[in-house]
Each structure stands twice: as C-alpha cells, then as structure tokens.
C-alpha cells in the first residue's frame, strides 16, 4: 500500500468485516481487537480482489518489511542526514544486515541496493513527469552526488537519458494536444 486510495480501500475492507482499525501504514494494518480465522480469511479474500493479500509466513513478511523500509528511506530523504541505507534498515528491522541482504537477494533475485536504485529511478521519473523540476534539483532531492550520477543511473535502469525521457513525455503530450485540436 503506497497511496491514500490503497489505504482507504484496505480500511474499508476491514470496516466491512466489522473490524476497527487503529492504524494503517505501508504494509501494516493494526486493529483494536483480535481477528478470528473465519473473518481473517474473508478479509484476505476481499483484499485479493483489490490486489492485496495478507502475508503470514515470516520470510515473506520480512521481505515485505525490507521493501517497506527501503521505500520509507527513498521518500523520507534519510540521506540528507548522511544515514546509509544498510544502517537505516538495521535500525528499523533490528536484524543483521548481511542476513537481510542474503534473504532478500535469494527471494527477490535482486540485491537490496539494486531494488533501492530502481525505486529512486521510479521516483525520478515521477518528478520529471509531474513536478517539472530541473534535474539539478531532483539529483539533490534524491541524494545523487551530481546530475551526471543521476543521469548515469537513470540510463542504466531505463535505457534513456533523463532529458530524452522528458522529451518523449513532451512529444506524447504534444501529439495528444494535436489530436484534441483536430476534434474542434
């Protein structure tokens, strides 16, 4: 769950099942009362209908906790305090980083660092598409050492330079506007 709509959908499913929710945040729902297996199964069924599911096994829960922690790191700008990712994860999850890294890589077939870089690049794409910020500001905001570093990472992940990616967006918008103009 990342967006407010996701949180509202999950909250509604719990409320429909008669369960009072005390807190919902990325990957976690806290309730006031215990939930019996019958209701839990019904909630899980309804969650699956909207693209979510309850995670019961500890390994999968730990992987999701790592992902949630990395997402928090990306969106909370923790690098501004010069906290490195591994320390941040250990502080949040309270387990040895080498264990977490090895578990994550074995299950996800990608390292935590690679997952982190991919998340940052997805955020860069959103900032380019929706916030119209200059690359220097985006690089600073996301903790890249320079625009060249951001551009190199971006190209490695997407195959495009950030400026080419931005140009593609502008071309699509332009062709969309041309199509709308022809309807007039």
- Residue 98 contacts by C-beta under 8 Å, 6 or more apart in sequence? none
pLDDT by residue, tens only, the chain of 184 residues: 457 788 888 889 999 999 898 888 766 788 888 888 888 888 889 988 888 877 666 788 899 999 999 998 988 865 556 678 999 999 999 999 999 999 999 889 999 999 999 999 999 998 988 877 889 999 988 889 899 999 999 999 999 899 888 888 767 655 544 544 444 5
Prediction pTM value: 0.67
- Tell me the CA distances in angstroms from 69 to 60, 161, 180, one per residue in order: 14, 28, 43
* Residue tagged 């309270």 (tokens): 94
Distance of CA 34 to the CA centre of its chain: 29
Residues 141 and 145: their CA atoms lie apart, in Å, by 10
| pLDDT for the residue 60 | 83
| pLDDT for the residue 2 | 56
- Tell me the CA distances in angstroms from 75 to 17, 20, 40, 107, 114, one per residue in order: 32, 28, 31, 24, 16
Residues 128 and 124: their CA atoms lie apart, in Å, by 6
Residues 38 and 74: their CA atoms lie apart, in Å, by 37
| pLDDT for the residue 180 | 46
Q: Which domains does the chain have, with CATH numbers?
A: 1-54 (no CATH), 57-109 (no CATH), 116-182 (1.10.10.60)
| pLDDT for the residue 1 | 43
Residues 16 and 163: their CA atoms lie apart, in Å, by 47
Within a 10 A sphere around the Cβ of 93, how many other Cβ atoms? Answer: 16
Q: Identify whether the C-beta of residue 43 lies closer than 8 Å to the C-beta of residue 33.
A: no
């Amino acid at each position: 769950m990342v967006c407010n709509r996701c949180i509202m959908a999950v909250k509604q499913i719990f409320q429909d099942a008669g369960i009072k929710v005390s807190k919902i945040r990325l990957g976690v729902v806290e309730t006031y009362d215990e939930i019996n297996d019958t209701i839990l199964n019904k909630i899980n069924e309804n969650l699956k209908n909207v693209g979510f599911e309850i995670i019961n096994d500890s390994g999968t829960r730990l992987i999701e906790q790592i992902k949630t922690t990395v997402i928090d790191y990306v969106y909370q700008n923790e690098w501004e305090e010069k906290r490195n990712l591994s320390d941040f994860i250990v502080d949040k999850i309270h387990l040895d980083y080498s264990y977490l890294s090895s578990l994550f890589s074995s299950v996800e077939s990608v390292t935590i660092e690679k997952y982190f870089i991919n998340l940052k690049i997805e955020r860069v794409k959103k900032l380019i598409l929706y916030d119209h910020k200059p690359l220097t500001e985006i690089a600073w905001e996301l903790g890249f050492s320079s625009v060249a570093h951001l551009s190199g990472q971006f190209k490695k992940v997407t195959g495009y330079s950030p400026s080419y990616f931005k140009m593609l967006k502008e071309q699509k918008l332009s062709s969309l506007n041309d199509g709308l103009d022809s309807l007039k």
